[in-house]
Amino acid sequence: EIVLTQSPGTLSLSPGERATLSCRASQSVTGRYLAWYQQKPGQAPRLLIYDVSTRATGIPDRISGSGSGTDFTLTISRLEPEDFAVYYCQHYGSSPKTFGQGTKVEIK
């Protein structure tokens, strides 16, 4: 089972700033099987990125994913008010699917 560790736990930034979120896997992720989700309070998670860097339907291009092997990054180039939320990475491709513990992006 691949364990995903996200950092930092909380990111305090202002609107317009760049957010860089990290997801590190306990072993190499094969097949580009890495996704990112956004969750706002009281809402279900929403798929942002799959296959490391492919944006899901309707996701703006200010949100991007990158990485390979064990190190992955979600970047939000310029934070909009609606981007303040919790973000989770997820490994798939085998059972069990595993999630990171989340990074909260809060308004500074």
Partner 1 sequence: EVQLFESGGGLVQPGGSLRLSCAASGFAFSTYAMNWVRQAPGKGLEWVSAITSGGGSTYYADSVKGRFTISRDNSKNTLDLQMNSLRAEDTAIYYCARDPGVVPIHYLDYWGQGTLVTVSS
Binding site for partner 1 (CB under 8 A): 33, 35, 37, 39, 43-47, 50-51, 56, 88, 90, 92-102
Q: Which is nearer to partner 1, 17 or 33 (CB)?
A: 33
Which CB, 13 or 47, lies closer to partner 1? 47
Least distance between partner 1 and beta carbon 78 (Å) = 25
Based on CB atoms, which residue is closest to partner 1, 78 or 97?
97
Nearest-approach distance from CB 55 to partner 1, in angstroms: 12
* Measured distance CA(21)–CA(91) in Å, rounded: 16
Of 74, 51, 73, nearest to 62 by C-alpha is 74
Closest CB to partner 1 among 15 and 54? 54
Is residue 96 exposed (0-12), middle (13-18) or buried (19+ Cβ within 10 Å)?
A: exposed
CB 77 to partner 1: min, Å: 22
Task: Pull the structure tokens for residue 29.
Answer: 């992720």
B/e letters for 28-44, b = 16+ CB within 10 Å, e = fewer, are ebeebbbbbbbeeeeee
